[in-house]
Amino acid sequence: MTRTWRQELFEGRPWWMNGLMLFCAYMTLFHMPWDFFIKPVEQDQEAWFGFVLHGWWAKLTEPLHWFIYGAGAYGFWRMRPWMWPWAALYAAQVTLGMFVWNVVYVGGFLGWLTAIVVLVPFGAVTVGLWKAKFEGR
């Protein structure tokens, strides 16, 4: 029985890492080009460490997000060794950012509750990436 290209694409990494690879690929190929080239500056927003940048500040930081997603898509696809510890550190920044964003922008009891709840899935991804062993293909 021959393997399909999809089987070859998704083998060798856990399901959640395949999900991260697909997310990074989507962000690299579709969302970030739309965000950078089509979305008006007045509507642009980018979040870093839980704080939201607007307008030109957001537009100017988009290439960095684009690079991170592109590196993530490639690194997960080829299981590059340099993904450790960088993927885990970026995931930790996102986890912290989700916590801060909920506390600062949602606020109150709901903000704190949501901030604590988001620590579970985002923290699990961070821990999973920290424990992952990346071996090249």
* Domain match, 53 and 8 both: yes
CA separation (Å) from 39 to 20, 32, 51, 52, 74? 24, 10, 20, 16, 25
| Domain match, 110 and 54 both | no
> Do residues 28 and 64 both lie within one domain?
yes
User: In this structure, is the dihedral angle defined by the CA atoms of residues 28, 33, 39 and 43, taken in order, positive or negative?
Assistant: positive
Whether the predicted pLDDT of 137 surpasses 70 = no
Cα-only R_g, the chain: 17
Q: To which residue do tokens 């950078």 refer?
A: 36
Residue 137 inside a domain? The answer is: no
pLDDT band at 1 (very low <50, low <70, confident <90, very high): low
Do both 66 and 12 map to the same domain?
A: yes
CA neighbours closer than 13 Å in the CB half-sphere of residue 30: 5
| Shared-domain flag, residues 11 and 59 | yes
Does residue 13 belong to any structural domain of this protein?
A: yes
Question: What gap in Å lies between CA 118 and CA 10, rounded to an integer?
Answer: 27
Say what the pTM is: 0.88
User: Are 24 and 74 found together in one domain?
Assistant: yes
Same domain flag for 25 and 70: yes
Structural domain span for residue 2? 1-80
Residues 21 and 64 in one domain: yes
Q: Which residue has the tokens 């620590």?
A: 119
Q: Residue 8 belongs to what H/E stretch?
A: helix 5-10
Please give the tally of structural domains in the chain: 2
**45-59, 96-110, 121-135 — which is least confidently predicted?**
121-135
Residue 40 in domain = yes
Q: Tell me the per-residue pLDDT of 52-92, one tens digit each, with 9 for 90 and over.
A: 999 999 999 999 999 999 999 999 999 999 999 999 999 99
